[in-house]
Amino acid sequence: MTGDLEVFALRMGMIAVLLGFVALVARWLRDSLRSPGATVMPRAGVEARLVVIAPGRSGLEPGAVLPVTRRLSVGRSEGNGLVLADPSVSARHAVLERRDGAWYVRDLGSTNGTLLDGHPVGGRPRRLRHGARLRFGAVVFEFREEGASAARFPGDAQQQAEEGEVHHQAGAAVAHERERYSGGGDEA
């Protein structure tokens, strides 16, 4: 009978260890999915920029400027060039790419969709223009092509000269753009 009791105790101990391990993994997964933040994998050859207008819960600051190279995948999973830790963004959400001298965005079948200037992108590539608004889930960016209309966006010349870094742009221009996007402000 003592042998049966020892086997029972060992089994209960193994179950306790297994449950502890499962709880630890569950906590780690919950914390990693919940923690806000966004990462950009810097690359040489910046050709365009994304300016954060509405960060959602991505951890980005409004006005942050992110570099875009020839091809940029956007999503919540770590394998993307732009990782947005916002629950409304799919693991593989969309891709931006430059082809034949023009920029395009394509949704990769995301749950909440990709919007270009308020219109759904869908699975077919849609052409991007300087100043276009891109929405990935709840995260909104303005697309800025390098060398296009620097006079339209004061302060861009210096930002365009600094490649591969995330910049923060403060001031009334960003506040005005955020207000305009959210529908607030005193527009006549």
pLDDT of 46: 60
- All domains in the chain, ordered by first residue: 46-145 (2.60.200.20)
Which tens digits make up the pLDDT trace of 48-57?
Answer: 999 999 999 9
**Tokens of residue 180, six digits:** 């305009």
E strand intervals along the chain: 38-40, 48-54, 64-68, 71-75, 82-84, 94-99, 102-107, 114-116, 119-120, 126-128, 133-136, 139-145, 167-168
Q: Are 74 and 27 within 8 A, CB to CB?
A: no
More confident residue, 179 or 31: 31
CA distances (Å), 143 to each of 17, 51, 174, in order?
A: 51, 7, 14
Which tens digits make up the pLDDT trace of 86-100?
Answer: 999 999 999 999 998
Which tens digits make up the pLDDT trace of 5-37?
Answer: 899 999 999 999 999 999 888 887 776 655 445
Taking alpha carbons only, the member of 101, 162, 103 closest to residue 130 is 103
pLDDT of 52: 97
CA dihedral 138, 44, 148, 167 (to 10 degrees): 50
Which tens digits make up the pLDDT trace of 107-160?
Answer: 999 999 999 999 999 889 999 999 999 999 999 999 999 776 443 444 433 333
pLDDT of 186: 44
**Tokens of residue 55, six digits:** 């960060």
pLDDT of 69: 85
pTM equals 0.57
